[in-house]
Every structure is written in C-alpha cells, then in structure tokens.
Amino acid sequence: MRPVSLHTGAWRFPGAYPDANFNFAHLKRFAQTLERGRFDAFFMADHLAVLNMPVNALKRSQTVSSFEPFTMLSALAAVTERIGLVGTASTTFDEPYHVARRFASLDHISGGRAGWNLVTTSNPDAALNFGLDEHVEHGERYRRGREFYDVVTGLWDSWADDAFVRDVESGLYVDPEKMHVLGHKGEHFSVRGPLNVPRPVQGWPVVVQAGSSEAGRQVAAETADAVFTAQSTLEAGKRFYADVKGRLDTLGRPREHLVILPATFVVVGDSLDEAREKRALLDTFVHYDSGIASLSIALGHDVSRFDPDGPLPEIPETNDSKSARQRVIDWAQAEKLTIRQLAQRIGGVSGLEMVGTPTMIADQMEQWLVEEGSDGFIVVFPYLPAGLDDFVDKVVPELQRRGIFRREYEGATLREHLGLPRPGNRFFGAERLR
C-alpha cells in the first residue's frame, strides 16, 4: 500500500474512503484487518517527490501524496500486536545513521516487527528535492546502496544483545566491553558509530528489496531477506525465482533465507463474472490522462504524443528502473495492446493480476507456491475497505483450509512470520568466531 491502493481509480470506487491516504482512523482499521487476516506484514511503498506527471494526470491521482512511511508505521505499531511493519527508505537520499536508528527504534517499539524496504530510488524527480540537478546513475546508485546496507547492518551490530545490563545495585547501565565502534570509511560513507540504540529485537530488521535488474538481483541475493518483485506470468515468475535462488546457491546461502514475493493485484468476486465486473468498474474510474501518465512513468518516457490507438513504438533506455520498463514492453508485445489499452490497464498497477472467486484465487496462489514461482505474495488491494475485507473474509479462509496459510500467528516477530533466522552479531558472540 502507499498507504492504500496503488490503483489510480481506487479512491472513486463505491464505498471507498477518498481521504484514506491521510486519515489515520482508516489506516488503523486497515492494519487491524490485515492482522485479523494473519498477514505477515503491512508494506508501505514510497516516493520522495510528487510524481512528475502532466497536470491532467496529477489532479486525478490519490498517489500524489501519502504519509511519510516511518511516521505512519510507528503510529500503527502502537495499535497493532503481531503484524510486521515494512517501510521504504532510500539509500540514495538518506543517511545510514538515520536509517539504522529509525528501523532499530521501530523494531523495539513494535517488539520485533520492523522491515526495511531498501530502495535506491528510481524516480528522477526525487533528486531535485535533495540538492541534485541530475539523478544518480543506475550502477552508482547500486554501489552506494550496497555500501549503505553494510553500514546500516554494522550499526545494528553496535551492541551485543546482552550489552544493556541496567544493574541498579552496581550502577552499571551498559557493559562497554559489549559496544563496537564501527569506524566505517568507504567510497560513499564515513560513519564512526556506535548506534545510540540497542541491538534490534530481530537482530536486524527484515531487509526487503525490489530491484529486478541484474545488479538488483545480485544485491538481493547477497543481502535481502525478502524480494518484492513484479512478474506478470507464472513462467516469468518461475524464471525469476530460479535465477535468484540459484544466486543464493552460488553464494552458499540457504534458499529459505530469502523469500520471493511477487506483487499480486487481487479482485475477489462470488463468481468470476462478478469479479470481472468489479475490475471493469474500477477501470472506468481511471481517466485516460491518468493512465497515460502512469504508463509514461513506468516506461521512463513520455508516450502521450503517440497515437493512442496504435502499438507501442520502440522506447529508448533511460536511467530509471529498467525492470519496470521491460515488464510493460513485454506485456504490450505479448498481448498486442495499443497504447490506450496499456494506459487503461496499467491504472497505476502492473504485473500479476488474480481476478476471480476465492477458490480460483487460492488455486492460482497454490500453483505459484507449488511450482516455485514464489514463496508468498505482496497482495495489492484494488480498493479499500471492500477489496481488503473480501480478501481477508473469503480468500484467507480458503488458503487456511488448504493448509497453505497460518490460522494463528506462531511467532512474535516478522522474521518468525517469514521463517527467517535471526542474524548473529558480526562483532559479538558465535558469529564473531567464524
């Protein structure tokens, strides 16, 4: 969510709250509903700018603005008990000390439920809000991102898990032998440390990454706990899954230490026809001006000047996200869609869609899991609250009945929800001896 549906027509759907992106009462209700549905986490995407789109599209878009993720997730931490809270932070436009500190704090406040969606920020307009005239080049963003990750995880390991003894009698608050001064000096960062927050409950908050380019996949295989991806078909999903898990094999990382989660846009109906009607109704709320802007953003290229009813021409490469671009191009070619059809279809979301009855959706999800297309899903709700309620009330019980989804939370932390191990501390304990 960002924080609610990414679909640009969602706010106009009957029963939706048009102000939901900025009404905490609604967001609290959504998070509590997800928790009732035993979801692993609430995932919040982000942008560091008002998206650069034509005024005619901008004025129709609920995604023009949203809460800063940390502020919202921290507030949600206080009114939820078990659900994970995954927020986006940029390695290109933030500082490792800040990011390490915030996620460590959220992890403590939430009792081990924090996750960091590590992004290098593909939106070039963000650069203009942070003192740069041009966006940082793609490869350079990834090199900086990799070093940023090393610094953040190093800062999380500033203290042994048992460093804070707080012995009232002797007056010893913290054992200084169990403090590590990072002293990082690298190509992009010079950070002394230590972090002024004890080691997070989870050791390290869960690290989520979304890069699907060659550089992005490799960084994910080396460092991520979870990969957020967009794959339109099961075949594409299986290729991606095999590629990333294969990279883990090469690195000697156990396959189950990284979970692959494709974004899945889900529309639930009591019949297939009803589901399709809901989807079609939703699309009527997307203005062409809005769709063509979403398409232009996905392609990193203004396509509004081409014939709406013609095919998508050759689109030049840009410095933006390569994977998002290629996905749309593949999609256009496979289904022979016109620009207008692409624009209406995309409506702010792209990738995998599941439209049907609870049984049909559960069938598809089960197939993805069994055939190694994914380890789970990032469910994108078409509109809220109804789209969310439908999923929790109708699809979740079907998944539970099949034994492929939990009936109750078994662990307390997000790592436990995802079946991920708690990282050792590189400076203290057993890890140090390796």
281 binds a copy of itself (CB under 8 A): no
432 binds a copy of itself (CB under 8 A): no
Pick 123 or 232: Cβ nearer a copy of itself: 123
CB 122 → a copy of itself: shortest distance, Å? 16
Binding segment toward a copy of itself, per CB under 8 A, in 64-72, 249-257, 322-330, 379-387: 64-72
288 binds a copy of itself (CB under 8 A): no
Residue that is written with structure tokens 């759907």 in the block: 13
Cα radius of gyration (the chain)? 22
Query: Using CB atoms within 10 A of its CB, is residue 15 exposed (0-12), middle (13-18) or buried (19+)?
Result: exposed
Pick 94 or 161: Cβ nearer a copy of itself: 94
Q: State which of positions 378-417 bind a copy of itself (CB under 8 A).
A: none
Q: 319 to each of 121, 135, 158, 294, 312, how far by Cα in Å? A: 11, 8, 36, 17, 20
Calpha distance 281→291 (Å, rounded): 15
Residues 6+ apart with CB under 8 A from 333: 312
287 binds a copy of itself (CB under 8 A): yes
Pick 190 or 359: Cβ nearer a copy of itself: 190
62 binds a copy of itself (CB under 8 A): yes
95 binds a copy of itself (CB under 8 A): yes
Pick 48 or 392: Cβ nearer a copy of itself: 48
Calpha distance 310→326 (Å, rounded): 19
CB 12 → a copy of itself: shortest distance, Å? 5
Residues 6+ apart with CB under 8 A from 22: 65, 66, 67
CB 385 → a copy of itself: shortest distance, Å? 15
Binding segment toward a copy of itself, per CB under 8 A, in 125-133, 310-318, 328-336, 377-385: 125-133
189 binds a copy of itself (CB under 8 A): yes
214 binds a copy of itself (CB under 8 A): no
Binding segment toward a copy of itself, per CB under 8 A, in 69-77, 257-265, 371-379, 422-430: 69-77
CB 326 → a copy of itself: shortest distance, Å? 27
For 211, the token pair is 């890069």
Residues linked to residue 115 through DSSP beta bridges, in sequence order: 86, 206
Of 81, 129, 313, 335, the one binding a copy of itself (CB under 8 A) is 129
For 105, the token pair is 């704090």
Binding segment toward a copy of itself, per CB under 8 A, in 20-28, 356-364, 404-412, 413-421: 20-28
Binding segment toward a copy of itself, per CB under 8 A, in 106-114, 137-145, 255-263, 348-356: 106-114
211 binds a copy of itself (CB under 8 A): no
280 binds a copy of itself (CB under 8 A): no
Residue that is written with structure tokens 């079609």 in the block: 280
133 binds a copy of itself (CB under 8 A): yes
259 binds a copy of itself (CB under 8 A): no
Calpha distance 49→46 (Å, rounded): 9
- Total residues at the site for a copy of itself (CB under 8 A)? 73
Instruction: Could you list the residues known to form a binding site, using ranges.
Output: 46, 88, 138, 142, 212-213
Instruction: Could you list the residues known to form a binding site for FMN, using ranges.
Output: 46, 88, 138, 142, 212-213
- Contact criterion met (CB below 8 Å) for 289 and 259: no
Pick 92 or 212: Cβ nearer a copy of itself: 92
Binding segment toward a copy of itself, per CB under 8 A, in 183-191, 211-219, 237-245, 368-376: 183-191
Of 171, 252, 254, 403, the one binding a copy of itself (CB under 8 A) is 171
93 binds a copy of itself (CB under 8 A): yes
